[in-house]
Amino acid sequence: MTQTPPLQTPGQDAPESAPDRLSGHELIADYVTRLDGSPGVYRMLNDKGEVLYVGKARNLKARVSNYARPSGHSGRIARMILETRRMMFLTTRTETEALLLEQNLIKQLKPRYNVLLRDDKSFPNILIPTGHDFPMISKHRGARKQKGYYFGPFASAGAVNRTLNHLERVFLLRNCSDSQFAARTRPCLQYQIKRCSAPCVGKISEGDYAKLVEDAKRFLEGKTTSIQRELAQDMQTASENMEFERAAALRDRIKALTNVQQSQGINPRGVAEADVVALHMEGGQACVQVFFIRANQSWGNHDFYPRTGAGAEEAEVLEAFLAQFYDSRPPPKLILLSHPVENTDLLTDALSTKAERKVELAVPQRGEKAELVENAHRNARESLGRKMSESAAQAKLLKGVAEAFGLPKPPQRIEVYDNSHIQGAHAVGGMIAAGPDGFLKNQYRKFNIKDASLTPGDDFGMMKEVLTRRFQRLLKEDPERASENWPDLLLIDGGAGQVSAVQEIMDDLGVSDVPMVGVAKGIDRDQGKEEFYRTGRPVMALPRQDPVLYYIQRLRDEAHRWAIGTHRAKRAKAQLANPLDEIPGIGATRKRALLTHFGSAKAVSRAGLPDLMDVPGISASTAETVYNFFNEKG
């Protein structure tokens, strides 16, 4: 990318030739006189320096000159022009670069008048890794750094888990980790219930397991008919050879495969790989429904609610959604759309460049593809209807919260904190967030309590650590409080003592304008008799049938669920931890040799040096390392 020399660069003040007295379309017209026909990206800023809008252009001069006209704009564009006090420009080599740069800036700056994809979640895949004689099959989320075969995306963890469940029944692939596999001395429960072929203890040869892996890959590629035919032939051969146990096992696999095919839902015959993307807009809000089709199978769907940029049209919303959605994930070969987008050729080129193969955008009018789009559009319409209804109810509840606790306006973000531990062990703090859209689950946070000086079970000390870490980070990342991450209300599980402790923390941090409410169980610790504590105000209660009371109870219960779930996960991880994993130089093979010889890690820790040296595969130096590790620990 190259920067246009006569124009301002990011971070500089407006050039002298754009007088401060100019604004709106007059200011824009002044900029137009110094623009050329290069492709690039422009930014429109208000008098506070906030970015109002980021746009791309095939021809910067032609595109920006449209804003210089004093009339003929939609209400949204007219308001944006009226607020504009400054512009910034970056030229690019190609239009595709301009599109990619535009979407990066939108995600970074979140301008008010742009369409913004707010839920940028990652979707899970199924991974069959390479580099192991008996590879496992597992769910994978995130960057594809590990070498192997990836199949996806799936719309949800539930969709992946259902498919993995089917694959275990049909192909008997292991799902244990490599370390568990190496340490196994006898078949696990998965083998007993016919969901694993037990390669860990030699119940299947490497060649036969490789055949199962290949069949699983073919299934995930949609080649189910050939797999079923081959299984039927193998069953027939086994029966003729009077290998009745093997024939029965093959029969069970065929039955499981048939059940998979019957439970796949909508399976298009003529669409092997596509994303079906449908948009529905109503009342200034939008819902985009995405269905994932891979290997002629429906792998689930997910709905998104992009911010519509104060009234953007359908074509602009859909184009912005596609550019942002595929910015962090690979696009499929075909994307079926409910509406045409503004720059089909440009978007196609950008997605094809990202995928390193041709990507097609299509708006089907008839046939099976049109039916798929219509189904997705119906789901988008119904989802948006439910969302709008829930939002109205949520807005009413937040207004009630403001009235109940004397807040100046309905809170847009409520944070609720809770701690969980057992007599101080495995202590964690949990934070949940809620707002006009309900629970903001991608905003939940967990805090491992790190302060070793705390007395076990010191709830005040734990809360102090959690709140300090949370707000120190907020103050560091967003001292101006410009983002949506600053809370408007804190709910604390506890009474006057907890509220006083939190108030002290906030005062020390210099945060004095975030209201907080302590929620205590009240008389007889009975739900419905909660008491609410606020700094400098008398304790209060809400009527037993008040919807706001029920809402506060739901928030508190969700925080408790999140905290105790985090605590249980930490406790379970600690219980499953094997001390042999911490010994330098002890990998999977030596760990397995030690466990096979002694039977348990506890027995290894009690073994003498001569006993350790007797273990096959354990050298004298390694035996000494193991002995010294446990001797020092003791």
Domains and CATH numbers, the chain: 24-113 (3.40.1440.10), 125-262 (no CATH), 273-385 (3.30.420.340), 414-567 (3.30.420.340), 579-633 (1.10.150.20)
CB 198 within 8 A of CB 191: yes
Q: Using CB atoms within 10 Å of the CB of residue 610, give its burial: 0 to 12 exposed, 13 to 18 middle, 19+ buried.
A: exposed
Q: Does residue 495 have a pLDDT over 80?
A: yes
How confident is residue 53, by pLDDT bands cut at 50, 70 and 90?
A: very high
pLDDT tens digit sequence for 464-486: 888 888 998 888 888 877 777 89
| Dist. CA 123–CA 142, nearest whole Å | 8
CA 371 from centre of chain: 29
DSSP 383-447: HHHHHHHHHHHHHHHHHHHHHHHT-SS--S-EEEEEEEEETTEEEEEEEEEEETTEE-GGG-EEE
Residue 6's CB: how many other CB atoms inside 10 A? 10
How confident is residue 8, by pLDDT bands cut at 50, 70 and 90?
A: very low
Per-residue pLDDT at 530: 86
Per-residue pLDDT at 522: 64
Q: Structure tokens of 388? A: 């709008």
Range with the poorest average pLDDT among 75-89, 203-217, 495-509, 515-529: 515-529
Range with the poorest average pLDDT among 31-35, 168-172, 350-354: 168-172
How confident is residue 296, by pLDDT bands cut at 50, 70 and 90?
A: confident
How confident is residue 60, by pLDDT bands cut at 50, 70 and 90?
A: very high
Q: Does residue 609 have a pLDDT over 70?
A: yes
603-624: average pLDDT: 87
Q: Does residue 595 have a pLDDT over 90?
A: no
Per-residue pLDDT at 477: 83
pLDDT tens digit sequence for 411-455: 999 999 988 766 556 678 889 999 988 898 888 998 887 776 766
Q: Which percentage of the chain shows pLDDT scores above 90? A: 33
Q: Structure tokens of 300? A: 């689930």
How confident is residue 6, by pLDDT bands cut at 50, 70 and 90?
A: very low
Per-residue pLDDT at 92: 92
Q: Structure tokens of 465? A: 């650590």
Place of tokens 């208000």: 46
DSSP-based three-state secondary structure for 576: helix
Q: Does residue 120 have a pLDDT over 70?
A: no
Q: Is the pLDDT higher at 399 or at 423? A: 399
Cis? peptide before 153, omega within 30° of 0: yes
Per-residue pLDDT at 265: 47
324-341: average pLDDT: 92
Any long-range contacts for 201-204 (C-beta under 8 Å, 24+ apart)? 204/172
Q: Structure tokens of 261? A: 């095919």
Per-residue pLDDT at 91: 93
| Dist. CA 543–CA 633, nearest whole Å | 57
CB 336 within 8 A of CB 373: yes
pLDDT tens digit sequence for 21-50: 677 888 999 999 999 999 999 999 998 888
Q: Does residue 12 have a pLDDT over 80?
A: no
Q: Which percentage of the chain shows pLDDT scores above 70? A: 88
Q: Structure tokens of 190? A: 């998965």
| Dist. CA 57–CA 89, nearest whole Å | 11
Q: Is the pLDDT higher at 318 or at 250? A: 318
Q: Is the pLDDT higher at 222 or at 276? A: 276
Q: Is the pLDDT higher at 342 or at 416? A: 416
Contacts of 157 (CB under 8 A, 6+ apart): 124, 139
Per-residue pLDDT at 15: 38
Nearest CA among 303, 441, 440 for reference residue 379: 303
| Dist. CA 222–CA 297, nearest whole Å | 7
Contacts of 258 (CB under 8 A, 6+ apart): 228
Average pLDDT, the chain: 84
Listing from the earlier edge strand, what are the strands of the sheet with 360-362? 297-304, 285-294, 273-282, 334-337, 360-362
Q: Does residue 89 have a pLDDT over 90?
A: yes
| Dist. CA 318–CA 394, nearest whole Å | 27
Per-residue pLDDT at 363: 96
460 to 454, 455, 515, 536: CA distances (angstroms): 10, 10, 19, 19
Per-residue pLDDT at 432: 93
Q: Does residue 242 have a pLDDT over 50?
A: yes
How confident is residue 2, by pLDDT bands cut at 50, 70 and 90?
A: very low
| Dist. CA 398–CA 385, nearest whole Å | 20
Range with the poorest average pLDDT among 29-33, 396-400, 579-583: 579-583
DSSP annotation of 559 reads H
Q: Does residue 19 have a pLDDT over 70?
A: no
109-131: average pLDDT: 86
534 to 405, 419, 505, 520, 548: CA distances (angstroms): 9, 20, 15, 11, 17
DSSP-based three-state secondary structure for 129: strand
- Helix (DSSP H) and strand (DSSP E) numbers for the chain: 20, 21
Listing from the earlier edge strand, what are the strands of the sheet with 86-91? 51-57, 40-45, 86-91
CB 340 within 8 A of CB 362: no
Range with the poorest average pLDDT among 176-190, 230-244, 396-410, 519-533: 519-533
Q: Does residue 592 have a pLDDT over 90?
A: no
How confident is residue 275, by pLDDT bands cut at 50, 70 and 90?
A: very high
Contacts of 573 (CB under 8 A, 6+ apart): none
Place of tokens 């820790």: 605
How confident is residue 362, by pLDDT bands cut at 50, 70 and 90?
A: very high
How confident is residue 10, by pLDDT bands cut at 50, 70 and 90?
A: very low
Q: Is the pLDDT higher at 336 or at 2? A: 336
Per-residue pLDDT at 258: 66
537-547: average pLDDT: 88
| Dist. CA 365–CA 569, nearest whole Å | 50
584-606: average pLDDT: 82
CB 428 within 8 A of CB 566: yes
